[in-house]
Amino acid sequence: MPIPHQYSQINSVNCAVITVSDTRTFETDMSGKIAQKMLINANHKIIHYEIIKDESFQIKSLLVNLASNKALNVIIFSGGTGISLRDNTYDIISEMLEKTLYGFGEIFRYLSYQEISSRAIASRATAGLYNGKIVFSLPGSQNAVKLGLEKLIIPELTHLVEQINKG
Query: What is the model's pLDDT at position 85?
Result: 87
| pLDDT per position as a tens digit, 43-100 | 999 999 999 999 999 999 999 999 999 999 999 999 999 898 899 999 999 999 999 9
End-to-end CA distance of the chain: give it in Å, rounded.
Answer: 29
Backbone phi, then psi, for 15, in 5-degree steps? -120, 150
Secondary structure letter of residue 110 according to DSSP: H
Work out the burial of residue 102: count CB atoms within 10 Å of its CB; fewer than 13 is exposed, 13-18 middle, 19 or more buried: exposed
Secondary structure letter of residue 126 according to DSSP: E
Query: What is the model's pLDDT at position 10?
Result: 85
Q: What's the CA gap between 53 and 101, in Å, rounded? A: 25
Query: What is the model's pLDDT at position 9?
Result: 81
pLDDT category at 7 given cuts 50, 70, 90 is low
| pLDDT per position as a tens digit, 110-159 | 999 999 999 999 999 999 999 999 999 999 999 999 999 999 999 999 99
Closest to 120 measured CA to CA, from 88, 150, 160, 147:
147
User: Percent of the chain scored above 90 by pLDDT?
Assistant: 89
CB atoms within 10 A of CB 81: 27
pTM score of the predicted model: 0.94
- Strand 99-100 versus strand 74-78 pairing type: unpaired
Q: Facing residues of 75 across strands?
A: 16, 135
CA distances from 9 to 79, 157, 162 (A): 32, 12, 8
